[in-house]
Amino acid sequence: MPQWTSTVGAAQLARLLGSQKGAPGGRRAPAYRNLADGVRLLVLEGRVPVAARLPAERELAAALSVSRTTVAAAFDALRTDGFLQSRRGAGSWTAVPPGRPLPTRALDPLPPESAEGVIDLGCAALPAPQPWLSRGFESALATLGPAAGTHGDFPAGLPELRRALADRYTARGVPTMPEQIMVTTGAMGAVAAICRMFTPAGERVAVEHPSYANVLQLMREAGVRLVPVPLRDNGLGGWDLAGWRRVLREAAPRMAYVVADFHNPTGALASDEQRRELVAAARSAGTVLVVDETMADLALDRGPGESEPRPVSGFDPGGSTVVTVGSASKSFWAGLRIGWVRATPDVIRALVARRAYADLGTPVLEQLAVAALMTGGGWDAAVAQRRETIRAHRTDVVAALRARLPEWEFAVPRGGLTLWVRTGGLSGSRIADTGERFGVRVPSGPRFGVDGAFEGYLRIPFTVGEPTASEAAARLAAAARFVAEGAPQVAQTPRGYIS
């Protein structure tokens, strides 16, 4: 049984190596060492996934115009460093050294007694939008009577909220019945329910690379085998459709998880054509495509007359391939733990039946509040205000980072809540650890990757404006200087990136 789950062709690997800044060939080191360092960096940045089969030595030598001896020596060096494994007859595939202390869990909540003076950028969420939150709960209390007269057990969700959600999908161009909706306790509750149904332990699940940290950890703990599919240009180019087709064909994952709208953490937005092609590829492979739409309401830069992309489910009219997840947490408030699943009625019935062994149902009062907000206009007004706030925060955060840390690289996304920041060759994990000493909390790149990728990245949300944004950037700059004075650079050191 081969140990690899995807493949990287010789031409593709040569192109990735050539795209590196400070490419290996420009350093004063033996050619084989430069090549090994380049491959290792691609693995650490997530641009080549772990457990990806590399091309044969002869093929790669021809693609790079180097000798086969150079490639063989580079592969030997990678095996010695723990970044490559090989077996006769199965080839060679990427790996990470055992025992590397890489973080994977999301940041723990900051205890109230420790919060004073600390700028917490660990959570991509904003305070509640008022007065709409209070109005929603006032309406919920006023209409609680009929629900309070029942047993209160609504495993599929309150009928009025299921209707409101179905109507919103229909208004977006995806005709939906209430029977196609299940209300959950947040988006994580939705993803957990879907995973329990479709992916028993040991099953393969394809994920974007990077991806949302909490979902990756949920899947790890469920015992599934994650198959990472790198985004093009670390998210700037969106989905790599050729890579997706290859993974769906070769790894045959039972399920795939993607964020098409303002991807977390990169902010990438998939085009209509990319959505159409990915749905077709998943349908052909028999893979269930789980689409996370929790950021879909947070478009910030849409021009006059420019329409939003169609929901991914709009490219699956039969409903056999796409299962959609939504949530009130990012659009409205993280404290409003209401999520939902949109799927075919038979999938919804199966999810509801299995729910009896999980959380039984979602709190009624919160469902009534969301239903009132969605049907009374409060939701749309609150989200519009939300966009204005996030847009202003984005301007402040971007300006502060460019002023204090001009060597850091990022693309400004057109929506969502986060920047995916490349930290100038320094360890993102070390900057995050050191940052806490300087009073700023920020999640490091490996939390959003598989097997230690993205060591040279941080995720920075648009959750603060001036003057806090400038102070946060100043503290991060101080942490980066501290790391730079005593820490090796990611691009030049083969091991030991995390202290």
Q: What is the 3-state secondary structure (H, E, C) of 12-60?
A: HHHHHHHCCCCCHHHCCCCHHHHHHHHHHHHHHCCCCCCCEECCCHHHH
pLDDT at 371 > cutoff 60: yes
Residues 41 and 117 placed together within one structural domain of the fold = no
Residues 364 and 409 placed together within one structural domain of the fold = no
Domain span at 399 = 112-124+382-492
Residues 13/63, Cβ–Cβ less than 8 Å? yes
Residues 453 and 419 placed together within one structural domain of the fold = yes
pLDDT at 436 > cutoff 90: no
Q: Per-residue pLDDT averaged across 324-346, rounded?
A: 95
Residues 372/194, Cβ–Cβ less than 8 Å? no
Residues 209/308, Cβ–Cβ less than 8 Å? no
Residues 46 and 89 placed together within one structural domain of the fold = yes
- pLDDT (tens digit, 9 = 90+) per residue, 15-73? 888 866 543 333 457 888 889 888 887 887 677 877 788 999 999 999 999 999 999 99
Which of 376, 393, 421 is where one domain is finished? Answer: 376
Q: Which helix (H) or strand (E) holds 84?
A: strand 84-87
Residue 27: the pLDDT is 42
Helices and strands in the chain, H and E counts: 16, 15
Residues 166 and 284 placed together within one structural domain of the fold = yes
Name the average pLDDT for the chain. 87
pLDDT at 109 > cutoff 70: no
Which of 329, 359, 376 is where one domain is finished? Answer: 376
Residue 497 lies in a domain: no
d(CA 432, CA 436) in angstroms, rounded, equals: 7
Residues 281/315, Cβ–Cβ less than 8 Å? no
Residue 303: the pLDDT is 66
Residues 32 and 160 placed together within one structural domain of the fold = no
Residue 73 lies in a domain: yes
Residue 30 lies in a domain: yes
d(CA 50, CA 72) in angstroms, rounded, equals: 20
Residues 217 and 309 placed together within one structural domain of the fold = yes
- pLDDT (tens digit, 9 = 90+) per residue, 143-197? 999 888 988 889 999 999 999 999 999 999 999 999 999 999 999 999 999 999 9
Q: Per-residue pLDDT averaged across 468-472, rounded?
A: 97
Residue 498 lies in a domain: no
Residue 117 lies in a domain: yes
Say which CATH number the domain at 62 has: 1.10.10.10
Give the count of domains, the chain: 3
470-487 burial, b at 16+ Cβ within 10 Å, e below that, comes to bbbbbbbbbbbebbbeeb
Contacts of 72 (CB under 8 A, 6+ apart): 57
Q: Residue 39 class from Cβ within 10 Å (0-12 exposed, 13-18 middle, 19+ buried)?
A: buried
Residue 487: the pLDDT is 47
Q: How far apart are the first and last CA of the chain?
A: 35
Residues 315 and 416 placed together within one structural domain of the fold = no
In this prediction, residue 252 has a pLDDT band, given cuts at 50, 70 and 90, of very high
Residues 120 and 195 placed together within one structural domain of the fold = no
Residue 498: the pLDDT is 23
Contacts of 217 (CB under 8 A, 6+ apart): 104, 105, 106
Residues 69 and 90 placed together within one structural domain of the fold = yes
Which of 376, 400, 429 is where one domain is finished? Answer: 376
Residues 86 and 152 placed together within one structural domain of the fold = no
Residue 467 lies in a domain: yes
Residue 104 lies in a domain: no
Residue 102 lies in a domain: no
Say which CATH number the domain at 396 has: 3.90.1150.10
Residues 174 and 286 placed together within one structural domain of the fold = yes
